[in-house]
Copies of this chain bind each other. A is one copy, B any other.
Amino acid sequence: MSKQPIDFQISAVDGNARTGVLTTRRGGIETPVFMPVGTAGTVKGIRFEQLEADDLDARIILGNTYHLWLRPGIEVIKACGGLHNFIGWERAMLTDSGGFQVWSLADIRKITEEGTEFRSHIDGALCFLSPEISMELQAALGAEIAMAFDECPPGEASREDARRSMDLTLRWAKRSKEAFDDAQAAGLPLDTGASGLSGKQALFGIIQGSSHLDLRHESLERTAEIGFDGYAIGGLSVGEEKPVMLEIIEEIAPRMPADKPRYLMGVGTPEDLVEAVARGIDMFDCVVPTRNGRTGQAFTSRGKLNIKNARFASDTLPLDDSCQCSVCRRHSRAFIRHLYLAGEMLASILLTHHNLAFFLDTMRHVRQAIRSSQFAKFRREFTEHLSSGLE
């Protein structure tokens, strides 16, 4: 059997939930895993040293191809030796294809069979992205995992629109795979030593189909036929109702190839993560812990905390009494509230750090629960605790 770009071994299952290790050329990643989002080459508000520290220990982060392509530009990143070298991060990375970012940020001019024409959200410049261009960009960035170029329809897309979009995404998936294989053949794989890996990048396919279950099933089947190193569910958490999202995950996730990682893109809250794990998902990314941190919201084991609230003015408790992160070991709600109201950068820094700790810690607890066949109990208690109210 030929060497693979990544290796994925499941070590325990509990219901549909599973835990295992995803091995990349830049180290192993225990799953289920939450991946902090490093849009423009930085997880906003946090230093890489802290992502690596024991209380976070993030093993993989995201980079956004669209953002990095527009700024600083691929030539700069190439000149600096690829994305890892450019940003100074030696652990694993995943890059998205740019498709979703174009959909959500840019002024889209035209979607054709060939690709997407749009205007940059930074300077309005006319740009064009296609499966081939996305694969070329992602090969230059050099993340361990790249994503196929897809089209993301809105959550409430009609059946007709959703089918048209899904068919296009499938044709783009084939073109992504071909272009990706060409780029990998042309590129110089990293030395992976005795890891048994090929040294190439992995490519994940993306299942679309909006809120239409039959289209989702068809998308899954036809995407799997093309053959990828892992599979993602895209186009969720984009406007549809939460029960619809959970139903689609429940129907689709357990039917995704069992021997490959299953990645739910852009989701979600701590509850969403636990509910999706229960339905068979292995990987997550979301801006919620970092973005909400910057607007004064802390995630805690007893639910969300708005640091602006006057009740915290002299509150000497940490953000979360049961959290062991460096922020909760040192700083009080009163201090962080003061920093936030004074417009101090440290407020965002501390809230971001704590929120990432809470998300990553939740995933650690999830993995332990699955390993000890206690996931159902964990899920029930976690959910109850979340709604129990702050001290």
Q: Give residues in A with beta carbon < 8 Å to B.
A: 40-42, 44-49, 67, 71-72, 75-76, 79-81, 85-88, 313-314, 316, 326, 330-332, 334-335, 337-339, 341-342, 344-346, 348-350
Contact = CB atoms under 8 A, between A and B. Distances in A.
Nearest to A90: B330
Nearest to A45: B345
A332 B41 contact: no
A67 to B, nearest CB: 8
The 3 closest A-B pairs by CB, nearest first: A79-B314, A72-B338, A42-B346
A62 to B, nearest CB: 15
Contacts of A349: 47, 345, 349
7 contacts: A40-B339, A40-B344, A42-B344, A44-B346, A47-B350, A76-B314, A86-B335
A313 to B, nearest CB: 6
A71 B344 CA distance: 12
B344 A345 contact: no
A274 B358 CA distance: 46
Contacts of A40: 338-339, 342, 344
A86 B326 CA distance: 16
Given A47-B349, A71-B341, A86 B332 contact: yes
A329 to B, nearest CB: 9
A90 to B, nearest CB: 10
Copies per assembly: 2
A334 B49 contact: no
Contacts of A67: 342
A180 to B, nearest CB: 26
A334 B76 contact: yes
B41 A338 contact: yes
Contacts of A334: 72, 76, 79-80, 86
Contact of A41 (B42, B44, B47, B335): B335
Contact of A316 (B81, B341, B346, B350): B81
Nearest to A86: B335
A49 B339 contact: no
Nearest to A313: B76
A338 B47 contact: no
A344 B49 CA distance: 17
B88 A313 contact: no
A332 B85 CA distance: 9
Contacts of A337: 72
Contact of A335 (B80, B331, B341): B80
Contact of A80 (B79, B81, B314, B348): B314
B47 A332 contact: no
